[in-house]
Amino acid sequence: MYYVVTGAAGFIGSNLVKALNDRGETNIIAVDNLKKADKFKNLTDCEIADFIDKEDFIAKLNSGSFDGDLQAVLHQGACSDTMESDGRYMMENNYRYSLDVMNHCQNEDIPFLYASSASVYGMGPVFSENRKHESPLNVYAYSKFLFDQVMRRRWDDRSGQIVGLRYFNVYGQREQHKGRMASVAFHFFNQFRADGHVKLFEGCEGYGNGEQLRDFVSIEDVVKVNMFFLENQNKSGIFNLGTGQAQSFNDVAVATINTLRAAKGETVLTKDQMLHQQLMRYIPFPEQLKGKYQSYTQADVKALRTVGFADLFLTVEQGTARYVNHLLKVST
């Protein structure tokens, strides 16, 4: 019997493969598209049974090649570029692909854990798992929203576990291949190392410079929640996966800079001191993002807590420090 992780060479997928390894599981089928070949690096320290291209996987799945052979599917494969304008590609890659995988899991009565997104909430301001709060702003968000809607329509007829996890702003190791879509912590780390300062957006929509608020969640916590549901297959639903606490981009910048300074034996600075020394600098807010940017997100995690996930989440200060120290280790 095999676990399947789709998007296995990507950011969250590769961390889930590694987490399964840490639990002694090596019968893993890794599914991905390696057109961006550098993603393979995310799997070099992982043990898998097979790697299958996404298109081959769908064909094999629909032909019955995997019938009776799968233990669970952790479906992370998707186009995550929120600026992608090809709606047909987005719907085929994110929506139709997910339906094929979900249908197989239901037919086989096996757990299906899939990646949804906090982008379904649009501009907010309420982020709880309820249709009235959902208003996607782009086709990426709509593809995720529509799949969640299908899950709701089929809820009473489900045969196996179904868990949709609405990821908020995830950051952490194994995201280096994502380029401009990587987390702000990753970009701040590289900016400061290269230029001696970090760049943040000026204020917009009533928020001060760098004071836009997001629910930043560490990949370590994302893995924990996925493993919790894999170990509790009697629990199903659509759940927010964030910390439940919004923090500012300024907070991420301060945590990144101070961790880098501490690694060099330098003193901790306040935000004001960093601004005075121009270690933090603000740039104009991009015109193309106006009206399409979530200036505030904060996960309502009551549903997640109600089903029994009780672990504390890392704060921006804790998670960023751990991540920056990891980046320092692998870059030296």
Structure pTM? 0.94
The pLDDT value given to residue 289: 81
The pLDDT value given to residue 86: 64
User: Which of the 8 DSSP states describes residue 176?
Assistant: G
Q: Which residues of the chain have pLDDT under 50?
A: none
Q: What angle do CA 11, 192, 41 make, to 5 degrees?
A: 25
The pLDDT value given to residue 294: 83
Which amino acid is residue 250, in one-letter code? N
DSSP 138-154: SHHHHHHHHHHHHHHHT
For tokens 């701040």, the residue is 188
CA distances, 55 to each of 33, 41, 107, 169, 217 (Å) = 8, 21, 20, 28, 31
Outline where DSSP puts E strands in the chain: 2-6, 28-32, 50-53, 70-75, 112-117, 162-167, 169-171, 198-201, 213-214, 216-218, 237-241, 247-248, 280-283
Taking only the tens place, the pLDDT of each residue in 283-329 is: 999 988 877 788 899 999 999 999 999 999 999 999 999 999 999 99
The pLDDT value given to residue 288: 82
Taking only the tens place, the pLDDT of each residue in 80-105 is: 555 556 677 777 778 889 999 999 99
Catalytic residues: 140, 178
- Distance in angstroms (rounded) separating the CA atoms of residues 211 and 318: 19
